[in-house]
Chain A
């Protein structure tokens, strides 16, 4: 039996056996799916958005951006909220809580007006949910009284948060849209309305690709298509940025954040925790690989904790935030030179090409030996060479030089390199 760390974390006052939850999406659409996921090891679920408004979905409704190989770089979907009758959803939620009392059953809701938000809050609370998540952020609703059009309107966010809060004793999360310049303003409005915490991010409005034969974007629905939400690995950098900014916002200090956006591996998961999330949600990776991915999330995080001597995940929540500073606070006198290892080098010349065409022409090419030769005079220490080098530990950041001022910090990792 593999050794497992205790991955439990407290989120919004609730004990979660681990931080890994399904996000509100196709992966948590009904009782059977949620049951299978919870039995696979997920700490909890965000049940697919329940509302009174029942959508009419289109076909097909997905597209994926790929690079080489089969993995999705990013994923586009056109689905809206649950297409099941509200009553049916409430029954399934009640059954889930009954059958899985130790798991956390969060439920996403979405109303069309203040009255509906309050009513949904009340009935979902009565059904036995543990957390309510207000979906202010679905970018592909056919009703403009709903979805991300609401999430970008701070008045509505505050008003609807209050409408939900007044009908429940449960924690209320506001799920934010990234289709906005800064997320803190909308998040503050949600908190002002009475929300307990924030979920971020929902999907980015996108066109994944344009069909070159039919002159429309994908997926093609009877000859047409529309802009809709983008998720998966490609949005991870955007998600981390929004979460870090909210976590650093003085007005939002200490607000629980559920992190969403491209989590596939245990490393992705830890990154979200390090920038301030204490709960994590996943959809795209599950859509591609299935619920079983939670096994490696749990195992991977356990081994990392073992290695780092960390006993409780709450120790690392937000731990990277002090090291993320504004551009004006970055020291400009610091310079790292690359070291080229001639024995590891396989002579591909990629560092040479990139330094010439995208850098400062600081690498000369020894055509006889097929090896790069660094010209320190010209090198600005940009690091492009070690980013493009395809060989492990062949070009590495090495000698550090300070121009005239500044002092070395006590940090041993200068640049991350595979």
Chain B
């Protein structure tokens, strides 16, 4: 039994997909048609430019490929593993017209693995002679903004509530998909650009934004992500053994999989997070894992790759079933009950006479994340508790405070968070440049905005 546990743990911690060998990588890169107006490159939110790095690999210039990736994407090795390629660059790939798209993610991983094993370093930050900038949250958006600002010469400090950086990368995504050492490597990359990290520090409790400003931080970036978890309101939802994806994954990943997983697990939801929960439960010893999803399988937002991964692990998937009750015994979860739905169209469904009862000692709700209360910032919030900010620049109702990432857009992909962090760094730089030279146009714009509030 003990041996079995160790084996399971190994499966959980080891990256499931094999890397390309140099020969495989060049072979795959040579399938690339090297398009004139490469649609793949246009489809990457972070501007990672697959057309250019694949061409470099094709012509045996792996270092050139690393340079292209790294200059565009500070989380290039992470994105190589978690990006929904089939919905972005690979969906755009012209090669699909002949047979199948280029395996862009695996090529990006090949280049970044090379970077790591060879100790190659593309980015060198200039001396940090400019103003101090504070970033709240060390998730993908915060890290991208921190790196972007450090590269421009700002003194950057990242405040993080947890004890490690990475946000959802560290406290969520299953290690067989994204090993922790890959995340740590990229966080170290950011540190080596001169970025300082203050862990176990909750802004709003341990330090206020006003205090940060008083300490000389000329710009404050709010990239706190979504820390709350949506929960179902059905009978039995408060039983012991009913948990949320956020709670479950946050316990599993930092402990290296050292959590108790019972024999029967039900995961509710159809996104990548649900897939991560199912894979984690299965890899950590659950006998039967079932994903229950309200909509049809075609509508599952999870990436096809992740869906395939859990199917290979032997996870059952039940689409078009709505949770109705969790039945307990002595206060503990015992049976999960759901009712079948028939979808008339995308938005209309009716319950059908199909009830399912599954044995479940653990029910994980992966039905979305919610914003924590950010009223401590003084920022304008929407109905859902999201921060109101310019979707491109991240400017908010408070001068010098920027907000971006999941807390603004309600939760998107890692690559989108990187893109937003990069854009915010650009916006902060523009703002501080203007302030430094006393640009009157900007001052007026700010004054106008504040007046209109």
> Residues on A close to B: CB < 8 A?
67-70, 346-350, 352-353, 365, 367, 370, 390-391
Contact of A390 among B33, B37, B39, B58 (CB under 8 A): B33
Is there an interface contact between B97 and A391, defined as CB atoms closer than 8 Å? yes
Residues of B near A347 (CB, < 8 A) are 35, 39, 94, 97
- With A346-B98, A348-B94, A391-B97 in contact, is A68–B27 under 8 Å at CB? yes
A-B residue pairs in contact (CB < 8 Å), sample of 28: A67-B30, A68-B29, A68-B30, A68-B58, A69-B23, A69-B27, A70-B23, A346-B96, A346-B98, A347-B35, A347-B39, A348-B34, A348-B35, A348-B36, A348-B94, A350-B33, A350-B34, A350-B35, A352-B36, A365-B36, A365-B37, A367-B37, A370-B37, A370-B39, A390-B33, A390-B98, A391-B97, A391-B98
* Cross-chain contact A349 with B35 (CB below 8 angstroms): yes
Chain B residues with Cβ below 8 Å from A68 are: 26-27, 29-30, 58
A350 touches which one: B27, B30, B36, B98 (CB < 8 A)?
Answer: B36
Contacts from B to A (Cβ < 8 Å): 23, 26-27, 29-30, 33-37, 39, 58, 94-98
Report how many A-B pairs have Cβ atoms within 8 Å. 43
A367 to B39, CA, bound (A): 11
Write the nearest CB–CB distance from B103 to chain A, whole angstroms: 14
> Do the beta carbons of B97 and A69 come within 8 Å of each other?
no
Residues of A within 8 A of B30 (CB): 67-69
Distance of A70 Cα from B27 Cα, bound (Å)? 9
Contact check, A346 vs B94: say whether CB atoms are below 8 A apart.
yes
Chain B contacts for A350, CB-based, 8 A: 33-36
CA–CA, A33 and B416, complex, Å: 62
* A68–B23 CA distance with the chains assembled, in angstroms: 7
The reply to whether B97 and A346 form a contact with Cβ atoms under 8 Å apart is yes
Given contact pairs A346-B98, A348-B33, A350-B36, a sample of 7 additional A-B residue pairs in the complex whose CB atoms are under 8 Å apart: A346-B33, A348-B34, A348-B35, A348-B36, A348-B94, A349-B36, A350-B35
Smallest beta-carbon distance B305→chain A, Å: 23
By Cβ-Cβ distance, the 9 closest A-B pairs, closest first, are: A349-B36, A346-B97, A68-B30, A348-B33, A348-B35, A348-B94, A346-B94, A353-B36, A69-B27
Chain B residues with CB under 8 Å of A70's CB are 23
Nearest A-chain residue to B95, judged by Cβ: A346
Q: Chain A nearest CB: distance from B98 CB in Å?
A: 6
A352 to B38, CA, bound (A): 13
- State the CA gap A352–B98 with chains docked (Å): 18
Q: For residue B97, which residues in chain A have a CB less than 8 angstroms away from its CB?
A: 346-347, 391
Least CB distance from B65 to A in Å reads 15
Complex-state Cα separation, A365 to B29, whole angstroms: 25
Q: How far is the CB of A151 from chain B (nearest CB, A)?
A: 36
CA distance A234 to B239 in the complex (A): 73
Complex: how many Å from CA A347 to CA B33? Answer: 10
In the assembly, what is the distance between CA of A390 and CA of B94, in Å? 11
Tell me the complex Cα distance, A391–B35, Å. Answer: 13
| Separation of A365 and B35 alpha carbons in the complex (Å) | 12
Across the interface, name the chain A residue whose C-beta is closest to B25.
A68
Instruction: Select from chain B the residue with minimum beta-carbon distance to A370.
Output: B37
In whole angstroms, how far apart are the Cα atoms of A95 and B198 in the complex?
A: 84
Residue of A nearest to B60 (CB): A68
Chain A hits for B36, CB < 8 A? 348-350, 352-353, 365
Closest to B28 in A: A68
Bound-complex Cα distance A391 to B33 (A): 10
Closest to B37 in A: A349
Q: Which residues of chain B have C-beta atoms less than 8 A from A367's C-beta?
A: 37
Closest partner residue, chain B, to A70 (CB atom): B23
How far is A67 from B41 in the complex, measured between Cα atoms in Å? 25
CA distance A391 to B96 in the complex (A): 11
Which residue of the partner chain B has the closest CB to A372? Answer: B36
Chain B's closest residue to A345 (CB) is: B97
Point out the residues of chain A lying under 8 angstroms from B95, CB to CB. Answer: 346
What chain A residues lie within 8 Å of B35 (beta carbons)?
347-350
Please, how many angstroms separate the alpha-carbon atoms of A22 and B36 in the complex? Answer: 46
Q: In the complex, what's the smallest C-beta–C-beta distance from B387 to chain A, in angstroms?
A: 38
Chain B hits for A353, CB < 8 A: 36
A366 to chain B: closest CB distance in Å?
A: 11
* A347–B30 CA distance with the chains assembled, in angstroms: 18
A365 surroundings in chain B (CB, below 8 A):
36-37
Q: How far is the CA of A29 from the CA of B174 in the complex (A)?
A: 57
Q: Which residues of B contact A370 (CB under 8 A)?
A: 37, 39
- From A67, which residue of chain B is reached at the shortest CB distance? B30
- Taking CB atoms, residues of chain B closer than 8 Å to A348 are 33-36, 94
Q: Contacts of B96 on A, CB cut-off 8 Å?
A: 346
Q: Taking the nearest CB of chain B, how far is it from the CB of A321, in angstroms?
A: 36
The residue in chain A whose Cβ has the minimal distance to the Cβ of B96 is A346
Complex CA distance for A349 and B58, rounded to whole angstroms: 18
Residues of A within 8 A of B58 (CB): 68
Query: In whole angstroms, what is the CA distance A208 to B279 when docked?
Result: 49
Kindly provide the distance from the CB of A352 to the nearest chain B CB, expressed in whole angstroms: 5
In the complex, A70 Cα to B34 Cα: how many Å? 21
The distance in angstroms between the C-alpha atoms of A365 and B26, with both chains bound, is 29
